[in-house]
Chain A
């Protein structure tokens, strides 16, 4: 009985992961197809990658995606961290208000946020393009940064900053030398969430961009009406990029720990 149950759960999990990963594997495999077919591998070739790299639209989209993601990550991480620190010292009422407003872009369907921004930018008369896309991304990334930073702040001793300043630190020193290092894990995971949210965004970008500025998602959406194996190549690059980012994020703390351990060992030897 027990053995059969285990076998059943293994089979189930196998099917689930087949469902999750088969489409991804399919894209990667067929990006190396030498023919146009999406069902038959005619042979191995890199021609779709060559075409991708010589396709101006695709390269532009890749450039804009990364540019917007990097700027949105940096800006929203700074804004979010600063706001979260300020909020942690604010009144209960203010906290509730900000949390409720932050929930709006998280809880609303993305398309609602998107049309709101679209009308807002056009009411202001801002030209749709790179600037509007960056502003929109900062807007929807910041609440996620705050969600990731705030719990870390809550677990800090509320008297920590006072203690620093009693010991002669300026508020700036207390902030940068004590508080920020303490909440660093929250800041880093907030930045990671912001980066992937921005990097993968489609709906909001699609509504607020214009004047030839597209990101990868928008390009896939507009190109997918016709079969174009270059999309497979582009998708593979996107999958690779995100995987590398995730591996780096998981590896850096491990590497840091290792180098710190090494330093400790060296200290012991000295």
Chain B
């Protein structure tokens, strides 16, 4: 038996080097600035101070959070009924529908985002259609609308699948019991189905909010070069302006914001489920 235990050792070395070390580098860079010599650096909070004292960066942060929140909210609103209908579909259709939701996620995100460029362009598919039926063309590409649309398109399947899983895991006899005790369909949904599916909604929210807040190619492709979210700022710091210390600080700020929002979401979930238990 002990023979096999040693099989994990090479992997320990691997993750120490390839996962832990790069993360430590981010922290190191975030809290330092380069000194006069190439090899020296000194510890400082300047990078964070610089970010929080600049109105432009704060605006970018605010916009990123708003876009991510809007995306998440829309995904819940669209995703919940979709998951509900799939969970209640005929057994023969059930797996097919799940497969149909999963399939687009296997296709390259960049390719799928690029597709929307052609659809949303000023002379694109939607505007051509609007002109055909005699309406004035609308500016769609390079707007917040396009960015949110692109994010919803890319991340909605995650939400649907998470909610669907929690709905199918639910004990069906609870619904029968509720009906037997005289609950109406609406009551049954609000008092039984919804609270029990909340964990799925919560994990769906995490799976959508996280990539939405950090995304940088969706705003670049659908928002245009001038449309800047926090991910784009990080990209610029690393690939264009070369200020790795500042870039690391921004990504740490982003990581902390994500951690806080996950914590709040989990907390809300716990309170909600406790409340449900008492009610």
Contact = CB atoms under 8 A, between A and B. Distances in A.
Interface of A: 9, 12-13, 16-17, 19-24, 26-27, 30, 38-40, 79, 82-83, 85-90, 94, 98, 101-102, 104-105, 107-113, 115-120, 123, 135, 139, 142, 161-162, 171, 175, 196, 199-200, 202-203, 207, 216-217, 220-221, 224, 227, 231, 235, 238-239, 242, 246
Contact of B25 (A89, A102, A116, A227): A116
A12 B80 CA distance: 12
Nearest to B18: A139
A39 B125 contact: yes
Given A116-B26, A119-B26, A89 B5 contact: yes
B158 interface: no
B114 interface: yes
Contacts of B3: 171
B7 interface: yes
Interface in B84-98: 85-86, 88, 97
A119 B255 contact: no
Interface stretch (B36-44, B103-111, B193-201, B269-277): B103-111
- For the complex, would chain B's binding face be called helix, strand, loop or mixed by DSSP majority? helix
A26 B12 contact: no
A24 B255 contact: no
A17 B251 CA distance: 35
A196 B106 contact: yes
B1 A238 contact: no
B247 interface: yes
B60 interface: no
Given A39-B123, A98-B12, A162-B1, A23 B116 contact: yes
Given A24-B112, A115-B248, A139-B14, 17 more contacts: A23-B115, A26-B119, A39-B118, A39-B123, A39-B128, A79-B11, A109-B255, A115-B238, A142-B14, A199-B108, A203-B216, A203-B217, A217-B109, A221-B110, A224-B221, A235-B111, A242-B106
Contact of A118 (B86, B100, B238): B238
7 contacts: A17-B100, A27-B111, A27-B118, A79-B14, A82-B8, A108-B255, A115-B247
B91 to A, nearest CB: 15
B119 A23 contact: yes
Interface of B: 1-12, 14-15, 18-23, 25-26, 29, 78, 81-82, 85-86, 88, 97, 100-101, 103-104, 106-112, 114-119, 121, 123-125, 128, 153, 156-157, 210-211, 213-214, 216-217, 220-221, 231, 234-235, 238-239, 244, 247-248, 251, 254-255, 258
Given A27-B115, A86-B5, A86-B6, A116 B22 contact: yes
Nearest to B224: A225
B25 A238 contact: no
A161 to B, nearest CB: 6
A269 B108 CA distance: 49
Contact of A112 (B5, B26, B217): B26
Given A111-B251, A202-B110, A216-B108, A13 B82 contact: yes
